[in-house]
Amino acid sequence: MADPTIGLGSVAQARRTAALPGLLAAVRWRRRRRRLLRAAAGLLLAAAAVGVAWPRPPVDPGQPVAPSPAWRVVATDPTVLARCSAVTVVRPEWWIDDDGLQRLLREDDRPDGLVRTGGRVLVNRAAVDPFPVLQP
């Protein structure tokens, strides 16, 4: 067998000699870890097979089951809707017509906001965006 150190400088040979024990230890640890994992997997598989095949005592269907304290049945309560409803506020300044929208957009130096096509009305996203990034 040829000497693998032929052609290596003294620094490279020293580095190789220093690194070799660590590399061999890493290879051995990897081999041990693989063996341990295989053994653990085999033990888990055997335990699962024993757990499935292990006889369990029969459950007596005659025993009453206690109600869960996490929930309860509530009778009909007519006031629940009044307690859970939210009051909505409608302000008149929220409603504008087409001309009013175009006027507000022109005052704010924004592009035209409405496009009417085929019976549909589309609103331009750039016109109503609160943080516009307008291209020059």
∠ Cα 10 13 18 (to 5°): 125
Domain that holds residue 122: 95-130
Quick: pLDDT tens for 51-73. Answer: 888 888 777 777 676 666 666 66
Our count of domains for the chain comes to: 2
Whether residue 69 is contained in a domain is answered as no
What separation in angstroms does the CA of 29 have from each of 2, 23, 113?
A: 28, 10, 69
The gap from C-alpha 107 to its chain's centroid, in whole angstroms, comes to: 43
Q: Is the pLDDT of residue 16 over 70?
A: yes
Identify the three-state secondary structure at position 122. Answer: strand
Whether residue 23 is contained in a domain is answered as yes
Contact 79, 73 (CB under 8 A): no
Averaged pLDDT, 66-83: 71
Which spans in 4-136 are helix H? Answer: 10-53, 80-84, 98-107, 125-128
pTM score, two decimals? Answer: 0.34
According to the model, what pLDDT value does residue 93 have?
72
